[in-house]
Amino acid sequence: MTKAIYPGTFDPITRGHLDVIYRASQLFEEVNVVVSYNPEKKNLFTGDERVNLIKEAMGDWPNVKVSKHHGLTVKYLKAQGAQVIIRGLRAVSDFEFEFQMALMNQKLEPTCETICLMPRENFTYLNSSIVKEIFSAGGDISQFVTENVEQALRTNLNKKKK
């Protein structure tokens, strides 16, 4: 059985992420969406909130699960009995970073393979930071995120205003 993990901060999850998850779920017997901690990023949502947002946004996808992890991705990959790391590539500018990470992960864990999936064309410009920026400026993000994510952003923003 080929298992894959799709790690990311997902702060918040976008329709572009969901597109990659869905297509990965068609390629692998099991996909584990892993909410990761990145000390370089200041997250809007906690790890548990992001896990719940993803689960709610996805609904019931039979071969996809959601978890969170703090630490080396390749250690988590091995602990989960997975063989593949899924990464999304939106633009050529993403390639160099992902290429270096794939090589380092393979050095740390020789059985690790990295598969890059490009999102559908209508999601290539989309990322979580842009969504938060548009939302904070009062823009409509309904085409970029699911309804539960939009509501969570609204709730979070209202808390900060108080």
User: Can 136 be counted among the known catalytic residues?
Assistant: no
pLDDT tens-place string over residues 14-64:
999 999 999 999 999 999 999 998 888 889 999 999 999 999 999 889 999
Query: DSSP string spanning 54-78?
Result: HHHHH---TTEEEEEE-S-HHHHHH
Pairwise CA distance, residues 28 & 1, whole Å:
8
User: Can 41 be counted among the known catalytic residues?
Assistant: yes
Superfamily classification of domain 3-161: HUPs (3.40.50.620)
Residue tagged active-site, from 25, 36, 87, 128: 128
**Encoded amino acid at 120, one letter:** R
| Under 8 Å between Cβ of 119 and 88 | yes
- Measuring CA to CA, which residue among 56, 58, 65 is closest to residue 18? 58
Residue tagged active-site, from 17, 50, 69, 87: 17
Where exactly are the structural domains of the chain?
A: 3-161
Pairwise CA distance, residues 135 & 45, whole Å:
15
User: Can 42 be counted among the known catalytic residues?
Assistant: no
pLDDT tens-place string over residues 61-99:
999 999 999 999 999 999 999 999 999 998 777 898 999
Q: Is the predicted pLDDT of residue 11 greater than 90, yes or no? A: yes
Residue tagged active-site, from 41, 75, 120, 154: 41
User: Can 128 be counted among the known catalytic residues?
Assistant: yes
Residue tagged active-site, from 23, 65, 90, 132: 90
Query: Structure pTM?
Result: 0.92
Report DSSP state, residue 162. Answer: -
